[in-house]
Structure 1
Amino acid sequence: MRHLHTATHPDIVHLDKVCIVQRMATRAIALQGDKILLLYTERYEDYSLPGGGLEQDEDLIKGMVRELEEETGAVNIRNIKPFGVYEEFRPWHKDDADVMHMHSYCFTCDVDSELGEPNFEEYEIKNGMQAQWVPLVDAIAHNEKTMAQSAKQGLSIQRETFLLHLIQKELLPVA
């Protein structure tokens, strides 16, 4: 799968002599015309692609489908194709490592416009997460406004906004 970008948190100045934990995640890109299926998180006031961490030894595509179904209630997931991988190095605030090295494997797919019931985890409910079909340009503008106004933005919104721009450039039909 093609490499899309590597992001390194500004607190990480070197990777030698640090303990690194590996994490694999997937992200789903489902478009219908100029709209994209995204998760809006009230707590962070941002839009993100549906997806998340893979279980140990989980197949990439099965993990993407599982996360997409859980987070959005998407049904009839089909025409899955690789889009690319986004790589990140972030501080890891647990005892077992200093840095997390995450690969987010992104796939395009088609889903039915009518969504079923999501199966959110407790923290996702507390964060006010909800699946929405959103015009892609609106999601980009919203995230950019949040990034400009938020003092606590992290790599996640930067990743998501980078990916949304790339999706707009490569996958939206030219008007």
Structure 2
Amino acid sequence: MRHLKTTIHPDIDHLDDKLVFKRNAARAIVVDGEDILLLYTERYHDYTIPGGGLDEGEDVIAGMVRELEEETGANNIHSIKPFGIFEEFRPWYKDDADVMHMISYCYTCKIDRELGQTSYEDYEIKNGMKPMWINIHDAIAHNEKTIAESPKKGMSIERETYLLQLVAKEML
């Protein structure tokens, strides 16, 4: 799979003597015309691509399908194709490591437009997460505004906005 980008959080100046926690994730890019299936998160006021961390030993595509079903209620997931890998190093605020090295395996796929039931984790419910079809250009503009103006923005918004811009450029 092609390498899309590597980012390093500005608070990380080196990895020497740092404890690095590696996390693999899978993300699902679902496009229908100029609409894209995204998650709106009220807490961070942003749009993100469905996906998340893989369980220990979990197949990447199986994890992507699981995350897509859980977070959006997607049905009839098919035509799965590799899109690319986005790699990031960011601070980790737990005792077991200093830095998280996240590798996101991104895939495109098709689904039925009508969504079923979601099954969110407690923190996703508390964050006000909900799936929605939205025009990709509107989502990009919204995230760019959040990056520029919002103190609530999360660390993943730059990754998400970069991926949305790449999807708009290559897939529309």
Output the TM-score relative to the length of structure 2: 0.98
Looking at structure 2, the residues matched to 33 and 169 of structure 1 have their Cα atoms a distance apart, in angstroms, of 13
**Which residue of 2 is the match for residue 26 of structure 1?**
26
Supply the AA of the counterpart residue of 1:4.
L
Q: Secondary structure at the match of 1:23?
A: strand
Supply the AA of the counterpart residue of 2:167.
I
**Which residue of 1 is the match for residue 66 of structure 2?**
66
**Which residue of 2 is the match for residue 129 of structure 1?**
129
Looking at structure 1, the residues matched to 142 and 16 of structure 2 have their Cα atoms a distance apart, in angstroms, of 37
Supply the AA of the counterpart residue of 2:146.
T
Supply the AA of the counterpart residue of 1:43.
R
Looking at structure 2, the residues matched to 117 and 154 of structure 1 have their Cα atoms a distance apart, in angstroms, of 26
1:12-66: per-residue Cα shift (whole Å, max 9, x none)?
0001111101000011000100000000001111000000000000000000000
**Which residue of 2 is the match for residue 76 of structure 1?**
76
**Which residue of 2 is the match for residue 7 of structure 1?**
7
Output the TM-score relative to the length of structure 1: 0.96
Count residues in correspondence. Answer: 172
After the TM superposition, list the runs of 4 or more consecutive aligned residues in structure 1 that deviate by more than 4 angstroms.
none
Looking at structure 2, the residues matched to 129 and 108 of structure 1 have their Cα atoms a distance apart, in angstroms, of 21
Q: Shift of the alpha carbon at 1:166?
A: 0.3
Supply the AA of the counterpart residue of 1:62.
A
Looking at structure 2, the residues matched to 134 and 27 of structure 1 have their Cα atoms a distance apart, in angstroms, of 17
Q: C-alpha root-mean-square deviation of aligned residues, in Å? A: 0.8
Looking at structure 2, the residues matched to 154 and 46 of structure 1 have their Cα atoms a distance apart, in angstroms, of 8
Q: Shift of the alpha carbon at 1:153?
A: 3.1
Structure 1: gaps (5+ residues)? none
